[in-house]
Amino acid sequence: MNLTESRAAYCTATYRCYDEKADFNKKAQGIAVGLTVGSWTDLPEARKAEMEKHLGRVVSVDVHEPAAGEPASGRYADITVAYPDVNFSRDIPALLVTVFGKLSMDGKIKLIDLGFSDGFLSAFPGPRFGLQGVRDLLGVHNRPLLMSIFKSVIGHDLPALREQFYQQAAGGVDLIKDDEILFENPLTPIERRVEICMEAAAQASQVTGQKLLYAVNLTGPTFSLIDQARKAINAGANALLFNVLAYGFDALSELSRHPDIRVPIMAHPALAGALYPSQYHGIAANVLLGKLMRLAGADLVLFPSPYGSVVMPREENLAIKEALLTAHAGHLATSFPVPSAGIHPGLVPLILKDFGGEVVVNAGGGVHGHPMGAAAGGRAFRQAIDGCLAGRPLREYAAEGHPELQAAIDAWGIKE
């Protein structure tokens, strides 16, 4: 099949299929026909001419036979099939149901890549702000951003929340996000929460001289999400956090393009671990948390870092980064990668080595658990970032009048 034709009018899906003895070429043909026109060889010729534009095509079949001595269970093939755009509407549920709806239940098969046609892509505006837009909002263009996460705030009241917010903000973080398990509740309802947190942000700004985005958790019934977002934005919210996988990619896609929702959206990976980690089933992390999040319009995307307790292998992390940052996606703006979990200041050199400068350094315990308090925690991270950008070894930089960084290094060490 001609590659140009393919890019224009066919979306592709790549599957890794494990089978000890399958004829993978036959399997690939079965997928290409079965998930599109249903049957082909028994169609009359006249009908074939009509149906050809609906027929799926096998793009490639790469069989990996186990080496001598390896178990037969390791036999797999990577199969790429092209699906005509004309078969499905231009939304993510239609694409996913077409390429992996029934097929997901057909033995050991994992969706490891998706390719979007120009036609399909054209229906998606992508991230409204994207990486560059978030930088513009904050006025920060020359360094990685720093984010901190509310520690558990269930059962806390508004004054307690405000205090926690202020302490984080005062340390010089660029973004603060809600805990993703903080839902609409009588103690800290969304509008009041936004009001007092934005107040605290303004107060901190007088000390730090910098701007701050607060991503408040957008939750509740699906068909009320737009109203809920409007409520938050009218109360002053300048960003939203969204548990995308609990609602489906299309909800994000529609929120991100809605004319009333003119603030960045941060995608949380909650529930992603039900989908990506298995070798044999599910959807690979670069598709789930990379390509699809960006396509659906996430301005920032959280995913498990390779450094902490909640671990994702480094190569999977870098594949997500690639999907968020590279130019594969036509007109789509890039999305900020936010590797999360287990981050402390001594990891900053490694994060910058792995991710480069276009990354959000994101910490929870690494801010709140700082021996000198949360504000010092923020400062320690900012110092670590400054030290790295200046090309200085962190220990030396800490010793030169950066006691917060020094305390962080004493507490958690350095990993390079």
**H/E stretch holding 259:** none
The tokens for 116 are 């979007």
Q: Which of 19, 60, 137, 185 binds its own copies (CB under 8 A)?
A: 185
d(CA 85, CA 116): 9
- Which member of 290, 304, 345, 366 binds its own copies (CB under 8 A)? 304
> Based on the number of CB atoms within 10 Å of its own CB, is 416 exposed (0-12), middle (13-18) or buried (19 or more)?
exposed
Residue environment code for 39-70, b if the CB has 16+ CB neighbours within 10 A, otherwise e: ebeebeeeeeeeeeeebbbbbebeeeeeeeee
Q: Which of residues 32-51 bind its own copies (CB under 8 A)?
A: 34-39, 50-51
Q: Is 102 a catalytic residue?
A: yes
Q: What letter does residue 79 receive in the DSSP assignment?
A: E
Give me the least distance between CB of 347 and its own copies, in Å please: 18
Residue 280 touches its own copies, criterion: CB under 8 A: yes
Q: Which is nearer to its own copies, 134 or 190 (CB)?
A: 190
Alpha-carbon distances of 322 from 147, 220, 261, rounded to whole Å: 21, 32, 27
Q: Pick from 22, 7, 36: which is nearest to 119 by CA?
A: 7
Q: What is the largest CA-CA distance in the chain?
A: 82
How far is the C-alpha of 3 from the C-alpha of 10, rounded, in Å?
10
Asked if 259 touches its own copies (CB under 8 A), the answer is: no
Residue from the set 85, 178, 180, 316 that interacts with its own copies by CB under 8 A: 180
Piece of 138-146, 308-316, 353-361, 384-392 that binds its own copies (CB under 8 A): 308-316
Least distance to its own copies, CB of residue 337, Å: 16
* 343 is a site residue for its own copies (CB under 8 A): no
Quick one: which of 44, 139, 155, 391 contacts its own copies (CB under 8 A)?
A: 155
Q: Which one among 270, 318, 372, 411 touches its own copies, defined by CB under 8 A?
A: 270
Q: Using CB under 8 A as the criterion, what x/- string covers residues 311-330 for binding its own copies? A: -x------------------
Residues 61-100 that bind its own copies (CB under 8 A): 86-89, 91-94, 96-98, 100
Q: For the beta carbon of residue 352, count every other beta carbon within 10 angstroms.
A: 18
CB of 269 to its own copies, least distance (A): 7
x-or-dash string of contact with its own copies, 209-228, rule CB under 8 A: ----------xxxxx-xx--
2 binds its own copies (CB under 8 A): no
- Give yes or no for residue 243 binding its own copies (CB under 8 A): yes
**301 SS3 class:** strand
Closer to its own copies by CB, 151 or 211: give it. 151
Tell me if 198 contacts its own copies by CB under 8 A: no
Q: Of the listed 102, 110, 151, 321, which one is catalytic? A: 102
Following DSSP, what letter does each residue of 100-119 receive, concatenated? HTTGGGSSSEEEEEEE--HH
Binding mask 5-24 for its own copies (x = CB under 8 A): --------------------
Cβ at position 201, least distance to its own copies in Å: 22
Amino acid at 385: I
Q: Which residues contact 274 (CB under 8 A, 6 or more apart)?
A: 282
Q: Quickly count helices (H) and strands (E) in the chain.
A: 19, 13
Active site residue ranges: 102
